[in-house]
A = this chain, B = another copy of it.
Amino acid sequence: MATPIFMAGLPGKMAAETAALVAASDDFELFDIGLSSPVHEGKTIAIGDRKIGLVASDSLAAVALPADTLAVDYTTPDAALDNVRWYVENDVPFVMGTTSFDLDEAKRLVAASGVSAVIAPNMAVPIVLMQAAARWLAAEFPGALAGAELKVVESHQANKRDTSGTAKALVASANGLGVPFPVDDIEKVRDPARQQSEVGVPAEHLAGHAFHRYELSAAAGTVQLVLEHNVLGRRVYAEGTLAALRFLQQRLAAGSRGEVLTMEDVLRG
């Protein structure tokens, strides 16, 4: 029996990409109603061979989910916390991919409830591993790279205004390793012309990519350590979301209630 997945955030790009993987999987199936914003209320979208009806949060009270449904939330910062309240009150365990809202309050709500949830600002497995490794290094070997110099360049779609949270996290780890680098020195590339000519982003991915380059120079310039990650589109995040759903299901089967899980928990398995 495939587990029903209630998608919140349709027809947004991340929710749609995840919904497509859900529809193509053997162990999950899309619930035929999805959560959207008022402007999409009453519309229907096709994903795989399913038609999903969109409702806004005001109409949620009329939605009855099957008992084993899991939710996936890729909505907006102003909607996410209300959604968490609804999942918790209606006993729907969930995977939360929405960022830039009050995560601490979301965690408190889950911990005080009977549902468990994966709350993860980034579900791209290779990126999560890279960040985890950098944080471990900084904790384990504080100051070990004293004297080294860092350069960080990150390129994202032009409508991403803020500096990448991944880049900031890696810089914090570099600081812990003894490399004094202010977050403001991270070079943000948002100009599509430069992204194509200098960073090498393919034209078709200018609207959705994450190309990062971390360059460490040590030992009087005789050592260069370069870490680069190039993410095209949103597929890797959608794959990570399904991994999170599977892990959540496994935890629930083992009796987990009121547990806040991270992507690192998912990867520890």
Residues of A within 8 A of B (CB): 124-127, 129-130, 132-134, 136-137, 140-145, 148, 177, 216, 218-220, 222-233, 235-236, 239, 264, 267-269
Contact A126 B148, CB 8 Å, known A137-B132, A222-B231, A236-B219? yes
- Sort A-B residue pairs by CB-CB distance and give the 10 closest, nearest first: A219-B236, A133-B133, A226-B228, A144-B267, A224-B230, A222-B235, A141-B267, A222-B232, A223-B236, A126-B225
Given contact pairs A219-B239, A223-B232, a sample of 5 additional A-B residue pairs in the complex whose CB atoms are under 8 Å apart = A126-B218, A140-B268, A142-B269, A220-B235, A222-B232
A137 to B264, CA, bound (A): 11
Say how far A230's CB is from chain B's closest CB, in angstroms.
4
CA distance A148 to B145 in the complex (A): 30
Q: How many copies does the complex hold?
A: 2
What are some 22 contacts across the A-B interface (CB < 8 A)? A124-B219, A125-B144, A125-B218, A126-B145, A127-B223, A132-B141, A140-B268, A141-B264, A141-B268, A142-B269, A143-B269, A218-B236, A222-B232, A222-B235, A223-B236, A224-B229, A226-B227, A226-B228, A226-B230, A227-B227, A227-B228, A228-B228
* CB closest residue in chain B, given A236: B219
- C-alpha spacing A157/B219, complex, angstroms: 20
User: Which B residues lie within 8 Å of A235 (CB)?
Assistant: 219-220, 222
Tell me if B125 and A129 are in contact (CB < 8 A): no
Cα–Cα, bound, A264→B140 (Å): 9
Q: Give the residues in chain B near A143, CB-CB below 8 Å.
A: 269
Which residues of B have CB within 8 Å of A132?
137, 140-141
Q: A222-B233, A228-B224, A230-B224 are in contact. Are A216 and B126 (CB under 8 A)?
A: yes
Closest to A243 in B: B144
The CA-CA distance from A148 to B127 in the complex, in Å, is 13
CA distance A233 to B221 in the complex (A): 11
CB distance from A174 to the nearest CB of B (A): 11
CA distance A44 to B125 in the complex (A): 57
Which of A177, A219, A224 has the largest count of B CB atoms less than 10 A from its CB?
A: A219
Most chain B Cβ neighbours within 10 Å, of A148, A222, A228: A222
- Contacting residue for A129 out of B145, B229, B231, B233, CB 8 A: B145
With a cutoff of 8 Å between Cβ atoms, the chain B residues found around residue A126 in the complex are: 145, 148, 216, 218-219, 223, 225
A231–B177 CA distance with the chains assembled, in angstroms: 20
Query: How far is B264's CA from A171's CA once the two chains are assembled, in angstroms?
Result: 22
Q: How far is the CB of A14 from chain B (nearest CB, A)?
A: 14
